[in-house]
Amino acid sequence: MTSRFTLDLTGQVAIVTGASSGLGAASAKALAGAGARVCVNYHRDEHGAHAVREEIERAGGKAIVVGVNVAHEDRVEHLFAKTKEAFGDVHILVANAGLQKDGASDTLSLKDWNTVLDVNLTGQFLCCREAIREFLARGRKPEVSRALGKIICMSSVHQVIPWGGHVNYATSKGGIMLMMKTLAQEYAGRGIRINAICPGAIKTPINHDAWGTPDAETKLKKLIPYGRVGDPEDIANAVVWLASDLSDYVTGASLFVDGGMTLYPGFEDNG
Ligand code: NAD
């Protein structure tokens, strides 16, 4: 017997931050493929964002492009206002925008610390807060979705794996974990589901140095028991599931999509 519920997102509206490339772009396309109308947010790469919109439209979907920096409160409000203006009620947020400013901790500048925390953690909080406000103001429509609203925070395996030379990034992802769980606890009773996806190593521009040459990829694969570097679609598939009624009893969860990177691969052969 098949489930009464499906991956179908027809009639729903999704905002995906940082959707001009990488995981955000793949997630926007996958959500549109599942029937959602999608707001493709970007910060600097307007061309990339429009390429994603065009691909969605060519496939018969609906999308708009809105450029805002998610670290700025008034710009996040603008992002939601533009989406509502174009498509009406918002049902799904994928808080995905993120960046790295790497460096040894003893020389890391305050500016690089703040930039990463501002975008990766505060930016996600601002987007989550705006989505929660929007969901609460609208009220539940069970014919559209069982939940009042769904939020997916893009975290990382580095919410649990410490990462030398990346203290700002790892701290931001550790922060996302407790922000997500706290919000999930606080709003579950009002029908909002909030979860995180923790990607391992996925081929996107953010980590090109780690997989861009055969030598680098071979070294990286030693950290991945499943034996391959991930593709953006591996994450986008999880995004669609978490956004759909198929995952309706899932909230406050961190879904590791990492080919086993968090399984301590160094211990595979007796440690
Ligand atoms: P990416 O560099 O392709 O995408 C990052 C996106 O965020 C870009 O579209 C960028 O424009 C956007 N962005 C950056 N600053 C922004 C801002 N201030 N406002 C709005 N948008 C902004 O890299 P990606 O791998 O697709 O990263 C997406 C998310 O996935 C990030 O949160 C990253 O930490 C996370 N992640 C990626 C990997 C991986 O292996 N690729 C692993 C774990 C987590």
What pLDDT does 251 receive? Answer: 98
| Cβ atoms within 10 Å of 149's Cβ, excluding its own | 24
For 52-107, the pLDDT digits (tens) are 999 999 999 999 999 999 999 999 999 999 999 999 999 999 999 999 999 999 99
What pLDDT does 174 receive? Answer: 98
> Atom 31, ligand 1: which residue's CA is nearest?
98
pLDDT at residue 1 above 90? Answer: no
Of 140, 154, 126, the C-alpha closest to 189 is: 140
pLDDT at residue 202 above 70? Answer: yes
pLDDT at residue 173 above 90? Answer: yes
- Domains annotated for the chain, with CATH where assigned, are 13-257 (3.40.50.720)
Say what the alpha-carbon torsion angle 131, 136, 139, 141 is, to the nearest 10 degrees: 30
The chain-wide mean pLDDT, for the chain, equals 97
Rounded-to-integer distance, Cα 13 and Cα 200, Å: 27
Which one-letter DSSP state was computed for residue 230? B
For 120-137, the pLDDT digits (tens) are 999 999 999 999 999 999
Of 69, 78, 182, 191, the C-alpha closest to 119 is: 69
pLDDT at residue 5 above 90? Answer: no
Query: Ligand 1: distance of its center to the CA of 204 in Å?
Result: 9
**Which single residue is written with the structure tokens 């609208």?**
138
What pLDDT does 4 receive? Answer: 83
Task: Please report, rounded to a whole number, the percentage of residues in the chain having pLDDT higher than 90.
Answer: 94
Average the pLDDT over 137-141 and give the result.
91
Query: Ligand 1: distance of its center to the CA of 249 in Å?
Result: 28
- Phi, psi (deg, nearest 5) at residue 84: -65, -40
Which one-letter DSSP state was computed for residue 256? E
What pLDDT does 271 receive? Answer: 80
For 23-49, the pLDDT digits (tens) are 999 999 999 999 999 999 999 999 999
Half-sphere exposure of 166 (CA within 13 A, CB side): 17
Rounded-to-integer distance, Cα 17 and Cα 23, Å: 10
**Which single residue is written with the structure tokens 């598939």?**
237
> Atom 9, ligand 1: which residue's CA is nearest?
18
- Phi, psi (deg, nearest 5) at residue 199: -70, 150
Which of 122, 154, 206, 258 is the pocket-test mutation for ligand 1 (most atoms within 8 Å of CB)?
A: 206
Task: Please report, rounded to a whole number, the percentage of residues in the chain having pLDDT higher than 70.
Answer: 99
What pLDDT does 100 receive? Answer: 97
Residue 249 among the catalytic residues: no
Q: 154: pLDDT confidence band, cut at 50, 70 and 90?
A: very high
Rounded-to-integer distance, Cα 185 and Cα 194, Å: 9
Q: Give CA separation, 65 vs 13, 47, 233, in Å.
A: 13, 10, 21
Query: Which pair of structure tokens corresponds to residue 38?
Result: 């999608």
Instruction: Please state whether 123 falls in left (phi above 0), alpha (psi between -120 and 50) or beta.
Output: alpha
Rounded-to-integer distance, Cα 22 and Cα 38, Å: 16
Rounded-to-integer distance, Cα 24 and Cα 75, Å: 18
Termini Cα distance of the chain = 44
